């Protein structure tokens, strides 16, 4: 478990504007020390290349991302289980980030409800600069520790919650201060960064570090670093929802059927899971109140709707346990 380092008052750290840091130990690493800011030998003379050469160089570099993420799988697994336990116990996953990292956090948060039917408040995001920063850059906010603490404080994090900070550099004052604040109030904390030995890693309980190396365009962490963050956030929420039983086999059975595409997906999932024809699937989904999990339990356990609903309630929505009518702790 990482610890938050502190510095004596006489050695107060300073933020990138030269002002004294309001949070001891949350120092800012120089940009030139970061791997993500280093020059990339593979893209030397990049501005002289043809369109095909540019695409090849980027594609070759992107191939390194999965290998970097693979090295962080043990830490990712710890976060998956932490998030699953938190959501099961009525807590929340709260992402916090700035710039590209904040946008990745927002994307993952917003994509979960239609795929897993979770309540939107269960997986939240905080973006430096607020929602307007999703479309219009207001990156100056990421320099403020005070704003980071204020924004996370408004969500009132508790020991039931997981607060996960994203920062490719691992030194963003807004994110570091927010994670440190949440941890001090008992929340489980984690981070995703692409540089080792950073203030953010020190501020979090669990540090996921994907060392993707220098970017094709030096410092453009919207590229490999953001790709790694997207892959990892996908793993965390998909893994947590699967651990909670909202996936059956490898089927997205908790799909929220709000439009024609998702209705069709729900029908196909039931057909595949139960090896039935389309007519039976449609009829069962209708009788189940347009709920794929209820329909699946009805068919797999050979029970009526009230019993399927009872089983799902008793198993906290875990479809497999509802089918087997068993109880198992995470």
Catalytically active residues are 111, 142
Distance CA 179, CA 165 (A): 6
Q: 284-289: long-range contacts (C-beta < 8 A, 24 or more apart)? A: none
**Backbone torsions φ then ψ of 165, nearest 5 degrees:** -95, 135
Determine whether 323 is exposed, middle or buried from the number of CB atoms within 10 Å of its CB (0-12, 13-18, 19+). buried
Q: Are 251 and 273 in contact (CB under 8 A)?
A: yes
**Backbone torsions φ then ψ of 162, nearest 5 degrees:** -115, 125
* Torsion from C-alpha of 249, 255, 261, 265, nearest 10 degrees: 20
Supply 87's token pair. 């959501």
């Amino acid at each position: 478990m990482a610890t938050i380092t502190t510095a004596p008052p006489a050695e107060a750290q300073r933020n990138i504007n030269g002002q004294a840091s309001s949070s001891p130990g949350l120092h800012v690493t120089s940009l030139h020390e970061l791997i993500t800011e280093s020059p990339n030998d593979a893209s030397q003379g990049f501005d002289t290349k043809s369109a095909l050469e540019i695409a090849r160089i980027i594609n070759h570099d992107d191939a390194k991302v999965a290998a970097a993420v693979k090295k962080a799988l043990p830490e990712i697994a710890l976060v998956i289980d932490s998030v699953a336990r938190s959501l099961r116990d009525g807590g929340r996953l709260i992402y916090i980030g700035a710039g590209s990292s904040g946008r990745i956090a927002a994307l993952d948060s917003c994509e979960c409800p239609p795929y897993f039917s979770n309540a939107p408040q269960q997986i939240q995001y905080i973006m430096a600069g607020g929602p307007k920063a999703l479309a219009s850059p207001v990156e100056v906010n990421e320099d403020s520790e005070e704003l980071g603490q204020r924004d996370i404080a408004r969500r009132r994090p508790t020991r039931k919650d997981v607060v996960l900070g994203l920062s490719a550099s691992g030194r963003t004052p807004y994110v570091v201060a927010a994670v440190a604040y949440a941890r001090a109030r008992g929340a489980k904390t984690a981070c995703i960064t692409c540089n080792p030995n950073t203030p953010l890693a020190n501020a979090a309980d669990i540090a996921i570090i994907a060392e993707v190396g220098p970017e094709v365009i030096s410092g453009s962490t919207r590229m490999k670093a953001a790709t790694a963050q997207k892959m990892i956030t996908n793993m965390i929420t998909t893994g947590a929802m699967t651990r909670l039983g909202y996936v059956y086999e490898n089927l997205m059975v908790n799909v929220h059927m709000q439009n024609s595409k998702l209705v069709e997906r729900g029908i196909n999932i039931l057909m595949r899971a139960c090896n039935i024809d389309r007519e039976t699937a449609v009829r069962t989904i209708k009788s189940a109140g347009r709920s794929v999990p209820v329909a699946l339990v009805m068919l797999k356990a050979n029970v009526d709707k009230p019993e399927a609903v009872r089983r799902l309630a008793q198993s906290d929505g875990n479809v497999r346990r509802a089918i087997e009518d068993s109880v198992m702790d995470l």
